Chains A and B, each alone.
Chain A
């Protein structure tokens, strides 16, 4: 239907992935699913890295992508720990009910 090259396709894919993650983050009523959304957004950016690396024909970007994956796994582990602690404290994982910032 459209004449697009693979780079543009990949960038559109990355943007779509980011938007889906963002949507998940702002709409989901479960913190675990929010984490999933965050993971999606991180992965969208990693896809971007890989795409540009492919564009400039270098190895640095791919190394950076691998490195970012490890970092995101680590940060998600920390985030999951926070979610568990939050669940123990508030007895819920619904972020709407954790509205202590308001008071």
Chain B
């Protein structure tokens, strides 16, 4: 009884216990939900667990603000001379992140109760969401990079499960395969980084790594310096894949095949930012050249995502490219040595992007289409969705006094400061960043005007938003209005707000003129810029030709997939191949097969002989010994009657026998 009260006072009384509780509850929920079918029970359990996690994460945050960082760890296993420890560490970043993730997870679960209603695998969906929450909390709280890696894999796996949730949809299956395979590249990078860290520094414990770097500086020797340099790039590959940066971003737009709440939770607000979270965590290990590389990749991604989003027609794809672009800003911020600015933007972005996705979900739920050309005038039909969307879109663009304004401001300031320090070629980073801002304003204005304004294209009555859809939208959009005090800017420029407002104004005006009023037509449909944007820079096609098709070609030789040969060459090659294969066929039938048959026959004969030997001689010997033993046994058994008189008679006879022998000897 004492133990029980001890455990409960540990779990509920201290912040460490609360952290463990909020980590483990979703796992229990997952195990339970896998075996239940009643949708009411599913709702109660998953929303209950979500609320408990959220409330305990708030307590953890308060505790952290009051008393500072704390951690909890215990020995896990020893491999050779390496001790691996498993544990959790709660610092300011982790506690903020935990509260944000658990809040969005709770909102998404509430939203899903109505969005996924009547779905075939309703309870499985919530089970997966719970498993994802578990993995994400683990990733946030993990103290050891190895356990971070385990949870990293787990969130990837949950993402795979949830993208392919509509198992009867072929495109969803293809999309989840794509996401899984591309994430595998990143996981390989992560693993490489881990191994390099383990072999050079000998530990994967974040706290220990940090203290070691602070004490001795990071570089022990020149070879270690090179190894850690490589490790930085390896970790960045993991980030590129998980956070959908430029060369490997192609999985994220396809991941929109999953249910919309999943897109809101996993592919906008939480899982994709785990890459940035990882970089903030191991920021002290990254050296300047890696950071420069990160900044360039991030800024290009920020621009590219916004550029492609400008010509997409699927509302979820627009939001996906927008996510890629915003993730680019965060990665860029880490690259320009401002990880806290990145974290600030990560935090605000999670709220407004989750709102945008859930609003898109509400629209899709109501009118069953994702194509913005078929929408229009939705502001009267779905008023709450409209308000939430406008607020969060304003935050996304960075209109003053919305959360995105402050965070993007911080990133732009840091970028400009960094570029001034480095000069020359690195000026391309802020240029990409600023033009990204223009493009963001452009695509946001374009699709908002197409979706919510204009004439009403729906003459049928649509479902109104019910409470479980409206409530998350309202709560989340409140989160994207004002969030200033989280971050103190280090390098503030007085004129930066005016610049960004000017950029936004340029973007919105051009969108208004080009897309809404159609006054200016700078490009036709055949224009190269238009084509690049609407086909996502042809990256999918390029990958197709670079990797997929050659592999296919190698796999099915003689069946060229898409390569256009001259007809004669194909015929000539075909004839040669046919004759050659006929010869090979003959060779095969007479010589190879004959040889094989002969060997087989010999084998059969040998085995018959050995079978005979086995049966007659070896078995015969064994049987003979057995029979002999049995006979002797029978003989001896005959004496053991247990009858006193026969024993007596026998001993008397033996006595007589021995006396006879004795007398004869005499």
Contact = CB atoms under 8 A, between A and B. Distances in A.
A95 B642 contact: no
A26 B648 CA distance: 7
A52 B644 CA distance: 33
A102 B644 CA distance: 10
A103 B642 CA distance: 8
Residue among A26, A96, A98, A102 with max Cβ neighbours from chain B (10 Å): A26
Interface string A4-39: 000000000000000000100111000000100000
Kindly state the interface size class of chain B when it binds its partner.
10 to 19
A22 B645 CA distance: 10
B605 interface: no
Task: Provide the main secondary structure of the chain A interface.
Answer: loop
B649 A26 contact: yes
Interface string A42-53: 000000000000
Nearest to A26: B649
Kindly state the interface size class of chain A when it binds its partner.
10 to 19
B641 interface: yes
A100 B645 contact: no
12 contacts: A22-B652, A26-B652, A27-B645, A95-B643, A95-B645, A96-B645, A100-B642, A101-B644, A101-B647, A102-B640, A102-B641, A102-B642
Interface string B626-666: 00000000000000111111111100100000000000000
A99 interface: yes
Nearest to A99: B642
A53 to B, nearest CB: 24
Nearest to B645: A26
Interface in A57-101: 95-96, 98-101
B250 to A, nearest CB: 84
Given A26-B649, A34-B645, 14 more contacts: A25-B648, A26-B645, A26-B646, A26-B648, A26-B652, A95-B643, A95-B645, A96-B643, A98-B644, A100-B642, A101-B642, A101-B644, A101-B647, A102-B642
Nearest to B640: A102
B656 to A, nearest CB: 10
Nearest to B644: A95
Interface of A: 22, 25-27, 34, 95-96, 98-103
Contacts of A100: 642
A100 B641 CA distance: 10
Contacts of A34: 645
A97 to B, nearest CB: 9
Interface in B594-650: 640-649
B230 to A, nearest CB: 80
B645 A99 contact: no
A45 B645 CA distance: 21
Contact of A99 (B643, B648, B649): B643
A-B complex: 8 closest residue pairs judged by Cβ atoms: A102-B642, A99-B642, A26-B649, A26-B645, A95-B644, A101-B642, A96-B643, A95-B645
Contacts of B646: 26
B652 A99 contact: no
Nearest to A98: B644
Contacts of A27: 645
A31 to B, nearest CB: 9
A27 B644 CA distance: 11
A22 B649 CA distance: 9
A103 B649 CA distance: 20
A101 B647 CA distance: 10
Contacts of A99: 641-643
B651 to A, nearest CB: 10
Contacts of A95: 643-645
A96 B649 CA distance: 14
B489 to A, nearest CB: 98
B362 to A, nearest CB: 87
A3 B459 CA distance: 151
B645 A25 contact: yes
Contacts of B649: 26
Nearest to B648: A26
Contacts of A26: 645-646, 648-649, 652
A25 B646 CA distance: 10
A55 to B, nearest CB: 21
A64 B647 CA distance: 31
A25 B653 CA distance: 13
Contacts of B643: 95-96, 99
B633 to A, nearest CB: 15
Contacts of A22: 652
A95 to B, nearest CB: 5
B212 to A, nearest CB: 77
A95 B643 CA distance: 7
A103 B652 CA distance: 23
A100 B644 CA distance: 10
